[in-house]
Amino acid sequence: MRFLITGGAGFIGSHLCDLLLAEGHHVSVIDNLSSGTAANLSHLRDHNLLSVTLGSVFDTRLMADLVDQADLVVHLAATVGVKLVIQSPIRTLETNALGTELLLQLASEKGKKVVLASSSEVYGKATKVPLSEEDDLVVGSVVRQRWSYACSKMLGEFLALAYFRERLTPVVITRLFNTVGPRQIGGYYGMVVSRLVQQALSNDPMTVYGDGGQRRCFSYVGDVVRGIYELSLEPSAVGEIFNLGNDQEMTINELALLVLEVTHSSSPIIHIPYEDAYDSGFEEVHRRVPDLRKVRQLIDYKPTVGIREIVESVAGYFKDEEVRHREHECPAPREMIESPLRNTREPK
């Protein structure tokens, strides 16, 4: 089968490439490297089943060509990370909503299936535990930039289901919960596991936002991409929404202590008010736990990697001298453009 992955040089996309290629599929990637990095795919540079295009999902002619060649599209291209969302609200809304709409238009015209990667952020401030796919979505005020990401991903879901119902476009929606693992960028995007691990390895102060009592469920990227892959092949998943994640909770304070234990770091743990980390009036969600019954019933989805193993794998990744250098030298996404990939072509 021929897969097209938008955002395939990103954290999740590169791991999905690993899985699909291991399963013997042809994989085509398009990425503008605005948040992904060419280095994420450098270990695959000589793989004869992989092709990589440096380009934008807004390049309609290019995307039409790539969608036409694919059997199935996994749409991962998005603006991600709380820091980036707050700093770049226009980019967030345009990429996540308009980019998704353009892709759905092309897929609909060409009769191709789309697996859309959405986010647990769409649940917003909902307090129900656990959160199931048909629960209400409770989003905060429009004056809080934090919720622009949730709204953009929510609109993507509405669009996908609209194309399914009105134009019979086969779509599958996955809501990803706190996906973590190697290759995830920490500092610039605010991803908590990678940020804390990097700080601990450098013996820098480990920054926990708020009081650290907020609870999260961390999902290993390998488990999540396996779920995406199996759902993409399951006919009964079409037209449906599925939570993908891990339902085992921990507080951010507990996470910080675990990182200290795993890395043997001497870093102090310091707590920073949200308004200092992000902006004034920032609203945090205290708990967010996925209900996994639906996906378990359909594809027998089972998280296999616990949080200790996740932290160990992230620490091992950042202990690599080359990775540490790249993270230090590339604090902003636009500086990641130079590509070591062999099979890269420029957009027409």
How many other C-beta atoms are found inside a 10 Å radius of the C-beta of residue 136? Answer: 9
* Number of residues assigned to the chain: 348
Distances (CA, A) of 137 to 29, 47, 127, 160, 237: 32, 42, 10, 17, 21
Distance, C-alpha 127 to centroid of its chain: 23
Tokens standing for residue 222: 């390998």
H/E segment holding residue 26: strand 26-31
Rounded distance, CA 29 to CA 6, Å? Answer: 6
The set of residues, in sequence order, having a beta carbon less than 8 Å from that of 253 and lying 6+ positions away, is 208, 211, 212, 213, 269
The residue with tokens 């769409």 is: 122
> Cα 80–85–90 angle (5° rounding)?
110
Tokens standing for residue 53: 């295009």
- 294, 242 contact by CB (below 8 A): yes
Tokens standing for residue 328: 């230090």
123 annotated active-site: no
Asked whether the CA dihedral 127, 96, 3, 337 is positive or negative, the reply is: negative
- Side chain identity at 238, as an amino acid letter? V
From 123, 149, 229, 278, active-site residue: 149
In degrees and rounded to multiples of 5, residue 94 shows phi and psi of: -65, -50
Active site residues: 149
